[in-house]
């Protein structure tokens, strides 16, 4: 109901004043509820969490902009149609503290409003990235009035050089400064209040709090406040989580705690040791507490879903060589305890071992969202999207620097997202259903190790009453020409013997599962698409050479596609 109809009702002559007020209040309630129904939120389905927008679940097929692009609406103008044509439904765009609060307490939301206008013009959504106190550890996106006042907004200090007292100042704001935290939280809350005022229709789906937090180049901050906190007791919430969490605690943290006597009280160095690993747990806790305060301030203004992103590390690096204390896999429990208002911990995955890293962020208390997945041109990126969404129930996926996709990357993302977009209703219905009696969907891609070794032996998975074996080497392509790290896809059960198979570079064989009727064949295999209304539009009926005379389903390596397959059993 709009304001006009409210006014018309109030003018009707036979209503009493009280009745009119009652009606107006009821109408207002409807308006508020309408806004709330449209407001993006997270909802649980089985073992998955889904993003619900306008009352409907949504799969985020996103792309993150390069860091500086969104600071100029003119610069971005030529890219919006390209992003739309690539089948993205969501753009991840930075909003920096320096742009929205150029003078303390004076806000300028023109850059945010420009983003909203441009996204809406393409019928796209946004995820906003709050570049507040920290962006990739550093504090370069803070306003000038913050940068220049190092008394009020002190710098973090790294470990003292030999012979020096007090540590070395970094261009990183201290996580121990209440002034900094409160100023950051005020600006963030102002941003969320602005979104509440101008975005009742839910163009903004989620907000990322800070960007890739973590201390450099030491494992912890030094200086009077940090040193005092380091000498203080480990908070009881964290100790209780360790004591009660059992096997659910990430193994590295549990091992560190146990190696120092599994203490239930004590100072940081006593509980976790005074080496880099112990210092990193300390750092994680204080970053988490800071981020919790900023998140809470934002949610008090407008409770959109919020997440933190993660700069991951390579094996063998020491904290401080990589951003120490960020929400890395071994510190997820510290962050979950210290920052309970943060909905999701979301890894930025640039390393080859995508499935291993992504897998660590799917936990009963954390749903997977991938805000940065390689630069958009990486050949394995689209396959990783299928895997994350199909196997790990990711609620969204987003390659980095998406606007700069060259022709090859643009074609690959367009095709992959085109398939995922049309499959979204089936994917969203199947996500999380494994906890409710049998797996309905599985994702497949070769496992790649950190050093880039591709393990592309076939893998097997039971879905419904059939056991599938999925190979990644295409039988009809010379082996030397195959880049199997870029192969991947998913299988969704849509009926008792019916499956959707989508992706590229997969060869699928099948057998009956669960009883002795193991022989299975293809009743029918049809390639096709779903139209915009979700209706199946069949293409070729595949048989003969296309199924190797009934022996397999083949998704060719050179294109993403969907096949609808009905199986049967025989003796
Ligand atoms: C991760 C950061 O979160 C991004 O903002 C960007 O700096 C990329 N790294 C660059 O690879």
431, 466, 498: which is the final residue of a domain? 431
| C-alpha 401 to ligand 1 mean position (Å) | 9
Count of C-beta atoms within a 10 Å radius of residue 279: 26
Residue 73 DSSP label: H
Write the CATH number for 494.
2.60.220.20
380, 405, 431: which is the final residue of a domain? 431
Please tell me the distance from the alpha carbon of residue 119 to that of residue 114, in angstroms, as a whole number: 9
In a domain, 259, yes or no: no
Phi first, then psi, for residue 496 (nearest 5°) are -55, -40
Dihedral of the alpha carbons of 54, 56, 62, 67, in degrees to the nearest 10: 30
Atom of ligand 1 nearest to the CA of 211: 3
pLDDT for 159 equals 95
Q: Could you tell me which residues come within 8 angstroms of residue 122 by beta carbon, excluding any fewer than 6 positions away?
A: 80, 81, 83, 84
Q: Are residues 478 and 361 in the same domain?
A: no
In a domain, 48, yes or no: no
| C-alpha 308 to ligand 1 mean position (Å) | 13
Please tell me the distance from the alpha carbon of residue 476 to that of residue 483, in angstroms, as a whole number: 14
The answer to whether 509 touches 518, Cβ cutoff 8 Å, is no
In a domain, 257, yes or no: no
In a domain, 246, yes or no: no
| C-alpha 128 to ligand 1 mean position (Å) | 15
Is pLDDT of 229 > 60?
yes
Q: Are residues 375 and 401 in the same domain?
A: yes
Q: Are residues 184 and 311 in the same domain?
A: yes
Q: Are residues 390 and 468 in the same domain?
A: no
Write the CATH number for 303.
3.20.20.80
431, 455, 487: which is the final residue of a domain? 431
The answer to whether 342 touches 306, Cβ cutoff 8 Å, is yes
**For ligand 1, atom 9: residue with the closest CA:** 136
Please compute the mean of the pLDDT values over residues 399-415 and round it to a whole number.
Answer: 97
Atom of ligand 1 nearest to the CA of 371: 3
Atom of ligand 1 nearest to the CA of 67: 5
Per-residue pLDDT tens digits for 378-395: 999 999 999 999 999 999
In a domain, 264, yes or no: no
Q: Are residues 354 and 454 in the same domain?
A: no
**For ligand 1, atom 6: residue with the closest CA:** 67
Per-residue pLDDT tens digits for 146-198: 999 999 999 999 999 888 878 999 999 999 999 999 999 999 999 999 999 99
Per-residue pLDDT tens digits for 261-298: 999 999 999 999 999 999 999 999 999 999 999 999 99
In a domain, 260, yes or no: no
| C-alpha 19 to ligand 1 mean position (Å) | 57
Domain that holds residue 350: 58-154+175-220+278-431
Atom of ligand 1 nearest to the CA of 375: 11
**For ligand 1, atom 5: residue with the closest CA:** 67
**For ligand 1, atom 8: residue with the closest CA:** 400
Atom of ligand 1 nearest to the CA of 350: 11
Greatest pairwise CA separation for the chain in angstroms:
87
**Residue written as token pair 């018309």:** 8
Banded model confidence at residue 516, pLDDT cuts 50, 70, 90: confident
Q: Are residues 413 and 288 in the same domain?
A: yes
| C-alpha 67 to ligand 1 mean position (Å) | 7
Q: Are residues 450 and 419 in the same domain?
A: no
In a domain, 23, yes or no: no
| C-alpha 377 to ligand 1 mean position (Å) | 15
Q: Are residues 414 and 487 in the same domain?
A: no
The tokens describing 180, both together, are 């900094």
Which of 211, 403, 404 most suits a substitution to test ligand 1, by most atoms within 8 Å of the C-beta? 211
The tokens describing 448, both together, are 């790649």
The answer to whether 493 touches 550, Cβ cutoff 8 Å, is no
Q: Are residues 94 and 148 in the same domain?
A: yes
Ligand 1 surroundings by CB, under 6 angstroms: 67, 136, 211-212, 348, 372, 400
Q: Are residues 361 and 327 in the same domain?
A: yes
In a 10 Å sphere around its CB, with 0-12 CB exposed, 13-18 middle and 19+ buried, how is residue 562 labelled? buried
Q: Are residues 402 and 551 in the same domain?
A: no
| C-alpha 374 to ligand 1 mean position (Å) | 9
pLDDT for 164 equals 83
In a domain, 39, yes or no: no
| C-alpha 136 to ligand 1 mean position (Å) | 7
Q: Are residues 140 and 286 in the same domain?
A: yes
Banded model confidence at residue 434, pLDDT cuts 50, 70, 90: confident
Please tell me the distance from the alpha carbon of residue 496 to that of residue 493, in angstroms, as a whole number: 8
Which of 71, 212, 376 most suits a substitution to test ligand 1, by most atoms within 8 Å of the C-beta? 212
Number of domains comprising the chain: 2
Element (H, E) at 407: helix 407-430
Count of C-beta atoms within a 10 Å radius of residue 474: 21
pLDDT for 166 equals 80
Atom of ligand 1 nearest to the CA of 94: 5
Which of 63, 96, 128, 136 most suits a substitution to test ligand 1, by most atoms within 8 Å of the C-beta? 136
Please compute the mean of the pLDDT values over residues 209-231 and round it to a whole number.
Answer: 97
């Amino acid at each position: 109901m709009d304001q006009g109809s409210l006014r018309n009702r109030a003018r009707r002559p036979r209503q009493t004043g009280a009745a009119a007020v009652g009606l107006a209040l009821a109408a207002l309630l409807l308006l508020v509820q309408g806004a709330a129904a449209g407001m993006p939120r997270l909802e649980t389905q089985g073992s998955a969490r889904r993003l619900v927008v306008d009352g409907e679940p949504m799969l985020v097929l996103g792309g993150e902009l390069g860091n500086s692009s969104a600071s100029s609406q003119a610069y971005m103008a030529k890219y919006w149609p390209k992003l739309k044509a690539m089948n993205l439904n969501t753009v991840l765009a930075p909003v920096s503290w320096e742009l929205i609060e150029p003078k303390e307490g004076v806000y300028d939301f023109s850059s945010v409003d420009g983003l909203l206008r441009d996204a809406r013009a393409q019928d796209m959504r946004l995820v906003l990235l709050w570049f507040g106190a920290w962006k990739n550890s550093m504090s370069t996106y803070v306003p000038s009035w913050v940068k220049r006042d190092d008394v009020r907004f002190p710098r973090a200090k790294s470990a003292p050089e030999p012979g020096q007292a007090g540590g070395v100042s970094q261009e990183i704001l201290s996580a121990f400064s209440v002034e900094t935290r409160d100023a950051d939280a005020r600006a963030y809350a102002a941003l969320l209040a602005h979104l509440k005022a101008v975005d009742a229709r839910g163009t903004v789906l989620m907000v990322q709090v800070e960007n890739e937090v973590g201390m450099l180049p030491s494992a912890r901050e030094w200086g009077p406040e940090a040193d005092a906190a380091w000498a203080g007791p480990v908070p009881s919430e964290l100790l209780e989580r360790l004591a009660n969490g059992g096997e659910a605690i990430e193994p590295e943290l549990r091992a560190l705690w146990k190696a120092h006597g599994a203490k239930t009280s004590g100072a940081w160095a006593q509980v976790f040791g005074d080496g880099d690993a112990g210092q990193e747990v300390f750092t994680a806790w204080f970053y988490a507490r800071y981020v919790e305060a900023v998140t809470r301030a934002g949610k008090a203004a407008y409770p959109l879903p919020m997440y933190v992103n993660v700069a991951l590390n390579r094996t063998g690096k020491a904290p401080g060589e990589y951003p120490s204390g960020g929400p890395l896999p071994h510190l997820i429990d510290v962050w979950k305890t210290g920052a309970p208002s943060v909905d999701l911990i979301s890894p930025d995955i640039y390393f080859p071992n995508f499935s291993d890293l992504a897998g660590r962020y799917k936990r009963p208390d954390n749903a997977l969202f991938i805000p940065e997945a390689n630069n958009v041109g990486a050949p394995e990126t689209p396959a990783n999207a299928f895997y994350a969404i199909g196997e790990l129930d990711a609620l969204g996926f987003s390659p980095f620097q998406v606007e700069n996709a060259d022709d090859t990357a643009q074609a690959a993302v367009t095709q992959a997202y085109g398939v995922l977009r049309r499959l979204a209703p089936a994917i969203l219905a199947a996500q999380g259903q494994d906890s409710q009696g049998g797996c309905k969907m599985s994702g497949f891609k070769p496992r790649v190790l950190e050093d880039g070794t591709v393990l592309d032996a076939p893998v097997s998975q039971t879905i419904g009453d059939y056991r599938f074996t999925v190979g990644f080497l295409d039988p009809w392509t010379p082996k030397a020409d195959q880049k199997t790290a870029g192969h991947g896809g998913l299988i969704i059960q849509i009926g008792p013997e019916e499956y959707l198979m989508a992706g590229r570079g997969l060869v699928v064989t099948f057998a009956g599962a669960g009883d002795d009727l193991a022989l299975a064949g293809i009743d029918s295999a049809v390639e096709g698409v779903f139209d915009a209304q979700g209706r199946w539009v069949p293409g070729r009926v595949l048989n003969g050479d296309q199924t190797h005379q009934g022996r397999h389903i083949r998704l060719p390596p050179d294109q993403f596609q969907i096949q609808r397959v009905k199986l049967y059993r025989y003796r």
